[in-house]
């Protein structure tokens, strides 16, 4: 019987905790929210404690934080229309660059796998790609206006410079750079959700994508490359992404976040019904019509909405979640 | 220039009576669950953004359009804009939502919607009111919060 064992409850924030982000080594994490602060946590003995609090970086809610793949930089996206980049070259964490350009709320920020690119998105319906051009220098590479409503989340492919975005317009879009003219453009639109898509996560291969939505479903999408053996038709020499699985009937309210562990293959979801659910692909799962089984339901994981879930990147089956009431919880998945 | 109200001549209804206090209400040994009437009492006196009238007097909110489930911890409020093209529908919905967020225990999941078939952009208004991120961002806008506070203030 598998279960989520609560390791610790952390009450450091006031108000909504929107997001938590693991450091790539999995021994530190950052959290942010309505109280406009970023807190950095690490373990002291058995207990997670606040090591640093970053204040004065933003004027409004901080919606998301993201560690760079090298672990030296932290990016924060805020409703104040800016994205801040923090590092501790001087010995302690400081904001050494601010990315401005979005008209209003920035809702998500993500580093590309190489750490050379950064993506942001927001209520102004646009997705921006930024290039790291030098020490504390960032240049806008592209402004992508493919969505027709606010963009909730951006996520990079685990190994390539392929970007995915999720939107209030119910769709997911994928973008990449054309190597010939170095122009970024939308290369695929994934349409099947019936309401806002709140979050998305690639599996470790990057050939599958899981999306979660206000329509109370999770969908799994599979990439069919130009030379696919299944006979799926592709156009204009770009892969086709097909929805190969819909998990419906499990969640009872909006699903705010999804995390796909690259070590264990487990999928965790954060839901407005206060529940964390864990899904695992069945052993005899057909790649073209996969089966995912609900293997764990943590009722009342938090007393209010669960906003964020994220697996420890080290693969030790630790999961962090955050909620509207200021709580962060650390869980361990056990079989 | 002052903008003319969308509905310059709305129908005005009479206010209902106050809640009757029964013997069991005063009995300390009886648990008083939050009920539809209590929710109605919390929102009936919200002021309409355009008229010096309450949502009850305009019949934008009615007790029969409220449902409460204390087991599931849900409160659902359907409101009825006075005209199908009311540009204030989102603001009215937001005022109801804010009032309930402030007044109710946090265990409740509050859903505020335009009653079915009563607004031209019903779906868009409902989607916006249900999006907690948009609501959170709206509530950081001081001008908007001031307007909402005027709506929910008791006159």
pLDDT at B8: 82
User: Which H/E stretch holds residue B96?
Assistant: helix B89-103
B7 and B82 Cβ atoms separated by less than 8 Å: yes
Q: Is some CB atom of chain B closer than 8 A to the CB atom of A253?
A: yes
How much is the mean pLDDT over chain A? Answer: 97
C-alpha B104/C-alpha B38 separation (Å) is 10
C-alpha B152/C-alpha B155 separation (Å) is 9
Which of A249, A242, A201, A247 lies closest to A225 in space, CA to CA? Answer: A242
Mean pLDDT throughout A174-185? 93
Q: What angle do CA A275, A277, A280 make, to 5 degrees?
A: 180
| Interval A79-138: pLDDT, tens | 999 999 999 998 899 999 999 999 999 999 999 999 999 999 999 999 999 999 988 999
- The two three-digit tokens of residue A179, written as one number: 């190597």
Where does residue A237 rank: exposed (0-12), middle (13-18), buried (19+ CB within 10 A)? exposed
Q: Which domains does chain A have, with CATH numbers?
A: 3-334 (2.130.10.10)
A200 and A170 Cβ atoms separated by less than 8 Å: no
CA quadruple A189, A191, A197, A203: dihedral sign: negative
Q: Is some CB atom of chain B closer than 8 A to the CB atom of A327?
A: no
Name the phi and psi angles at B25, rounded to 5: -60, -35
Domain B34-152 bears CATH identifier 3.30.300.130: yes
CA dihedral A145, A151, A155, A160 (to 10 degrees): -10
**Around Cβ B23, how many Cβ atoms within 10 Å?**
7
C-alpha A150/C-alpha A130 separation (Å) is 19
Taking CA–CA distances from B134, the nearest residue in chain A reads A123
Mean pLDDT throughout A66-91? 96
Mean pLDDT throughout B1-23? 80
- Asked if the model's pLDDT at residue B64 lies above 90, the reply is yes
C-alpha A226/C-alpha B102 separation (Å) is 54
Q: Is some CB atom of chain B closer than 8 A to the CB atom of A107?
A: yes
C-alpha B155/C-alpha A45 separation (Å) is 56
Contact B106 A325 (CB under 8 A): yes
Taking CA–CA distances from B142, the nearest residue in chain A reads A60
Q: How far is B128 from chain A (nearest CA, A)?
A: 10
- The two three-digit tokens of residue A85, written as one number: 């980049």
Mean pLDDT throughout A214-222? 98
Instruction: Please tell me whether the overall predicted TM-score, pTM, comes out greater than 0.90 for this model.
Output: yes
- Local confidence band at B4 (pLDDT 50, 70, 90 cut-offs): low
3-state secondary structure of B138: helix
Q: How far is B103 from chain A (nearest CA, A)?
A: 16
User: Which H/E stretch holds residue A167?
Assistant: strand A163-167
- Asked if the model's pLDDT at residue B3 lies above 70, the reply is no
| Interval A7-33: pLDDT, tens | 999 999 999 999 999 999 999 999 999
pLDDT at B1: 44
Contact B140 A60 (CB under 8 A): yes
Of B127, B130, B140, the CB nearest to A79: B140
For chain B, domain boundaries: 34-152
CA quadruple B78, B80, B84, B89: dihedral sign: negative
C-alpha A148/C-alpha A150 separation (Å) is 7
- The two three-digit tokens of residue B129, written as one number: 């009111």
């Amino acid at each position: 019987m598998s279960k989520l064992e609560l390791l610790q409850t952390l009450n450091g924030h006031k108000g909504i905790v929107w997001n938590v982000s693991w450091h790539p080594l999995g021994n530190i994490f950052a959290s942010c929210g309505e109280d406009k602060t970023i807190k950095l946590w690490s373990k002291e003995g058995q207990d997670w404690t606040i090591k640093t609090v970053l204040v004065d970086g933003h004027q409004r809610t901080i919606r998301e934080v993201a560690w760079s793949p090298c672990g030296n930089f932290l990016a924060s996206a805020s409703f104040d229309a800016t994205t801040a980049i923090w590092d501790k070259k001087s010995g302690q964490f400081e904001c050494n660059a601010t990315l401005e350009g979005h008209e209003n709320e920035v809702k998500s920020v993500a580093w590309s796998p190489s750490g050379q690119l950064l993506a942001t998105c927001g209520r102004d319906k646009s997705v921006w790609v930024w290039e790291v051009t030098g020490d504390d220098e960032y240049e806008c590479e592209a402004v992508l206006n493919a969505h027709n409503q606010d963009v909730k989340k951006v996520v990079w492919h685990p190994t390539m410079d392929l970007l995915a975005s999720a939107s209030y317009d119910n769709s997911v879009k994928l973008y990449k750079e054309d190597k010939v003219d170095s122009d970024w453009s939308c290369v695929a639109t994934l349409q099947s959700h019936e309401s806002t898509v709140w979050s998305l996560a690639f599996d470790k291969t990057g050939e599958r994508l899981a999306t979660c939505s206000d329509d109370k479903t999770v969908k799994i999408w599979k990439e069919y490359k130009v030379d696919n053996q299944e006979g799926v038709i592709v156009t204009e020499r770009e892969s086709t992404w097909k929805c190969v699985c819909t998990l419906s009937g499990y969640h009872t309210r909006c699903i705010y976040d999804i995390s796909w562990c690259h070590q264990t293959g487990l999928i965790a979801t954060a839901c407005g019904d206060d529940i964390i659910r864990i899904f695992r692909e069945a052993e005899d799962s057909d790649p073209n019509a996969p089966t995912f089984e609900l293997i764990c339901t943590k009722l009342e994981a938090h007393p209010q909405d669960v906003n964020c879930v994220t697996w420890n990147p080290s693969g030790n089956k630790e999961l962090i979640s955050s909620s509207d009431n200021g709580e962060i919880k650390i869980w361990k998945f056990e079989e | 220039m002052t903008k003319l109200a969308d509905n310059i001549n709305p129908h005005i209804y009479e206010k209902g009576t106050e809640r009757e206090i029964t013997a069991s209400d005063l009995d300390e040994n009886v648990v008083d669950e939050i009920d539809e009437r209590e929710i109605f009492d919390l929102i009936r006196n919200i002021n309409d953004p355009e008229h010096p009238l309450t949502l009850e007097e305009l019949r934008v909110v009615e007790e029969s359009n409220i449902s409460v489930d204390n087991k599931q911890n849900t409160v659902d409020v359907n409101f009825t804009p006075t005209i199908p093209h009311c540009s204030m529908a989102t603001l009215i919905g937001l005022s109801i939502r804010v009032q309930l967020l402030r007044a109710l225990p946090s265990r409740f999941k509050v859903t505020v919607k335009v009653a079915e078939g009563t607004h031209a952009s019903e779906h868009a208004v409902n989607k916006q009111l249900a999006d907690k991120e948009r609501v959170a961002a709206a509530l950081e806008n001081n001008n908007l919060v001031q307007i909402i506070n005027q709506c929910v203030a008791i006159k």
